[in-house]
Amino acid sequence: MNPRPVFLVLACCLSLPTLHANAEVKTYGGAHVGMLNFEVDDVAFRPWFAGLQAGMQTESGAGMEIAAATGVVDDESNKTEMSLNYSAQAYLTYSLYDDFDGPRRGQLLLGGGYAIFDTNTNAGSSDYPGDQSWDGPALMIRYSEYLPSYPKVNLAASYEHYYLDGKLSVAQFTLGVSYDF
C-alpha cells in the first residue's frame, strides 16, 4: 500500500486545528451514492458505488473531509467488465455559505486533496488485467442545500476529478445526504 494517503490524512488532521485554534468548528457526517466515470482511450466504464463521508468546518470556511466507498453495480463495455473494489479520499476544503451558526443553506464546497481507488477489470472470460490501484491528486466541488423541515439535514450533489492523463480520465458524480452535528 502506498503510504502517501496516510500521511495526507494525518497532516490534515494535525494541521487544521492549529491553523484555526480559536475558531468554532462544526462536524458533519453522511452517506452518498454515485457513479465512477472511468475513461480509457475511447472506452468508458461507469460502475456505481455507495459510501460514507465525515468532515469538519471552521467558521472561516476552512475544513477537511474524508470519504470511503465501495462498488455496488459493475459496468461492462466491449466484453470487458469493471467493478470498483473501494475508494478513499481526503480533502482540505473551503466552504462558501451564508450563516455559520445556522443551517448550511446554499453551500458551495471546494476541495483539494488525495484519492485512492482499486478496480477489478476482467476482459472476456480471463481475469486479465485483474485488480488495479490508482492514486493521485483530487479536486472536488459540491453544492448542498438543507431541508427546511430538518435544518441539520443537507442534500448534496458533487463532482470529483481524480486523474487525467492523455489516455485516462477518472471522475465521479455523487448524490448524498449529510447531518450537521
pLDDT digits (tens, 9 = 90+) for 153-172: 999 999 999 876 667 788 99
Q: Specify the pLDDT at position 125.
A: 65
All structural domains of the chain:
4-180 (2.40.160.20)
| Neighbour-count burial of 100, counting CB atoms closer than 10 A to its CB (0-12 exposed, 13-18 middle, 19+ buried) | middle
Beta bridge partners of 81: 76, 122
- pLDDT, tens digit, for every residue of 72-104? 887 666 677 788 889 999 999 998 875 555 555
Here the contacts of 16-20 (C-beta below 8 Å, separation 24 or greater) are 16/56, 16/58, 16/62, 16/63, 16/64, 16/92, 19/62, 20/58, 20/60, 20/62
Q: Which of 115, 61, 62 is nearest to 89 (CA)?
A: 115
Mean pLDDT of the region 141-145: 92
pTM of the model: 0.79
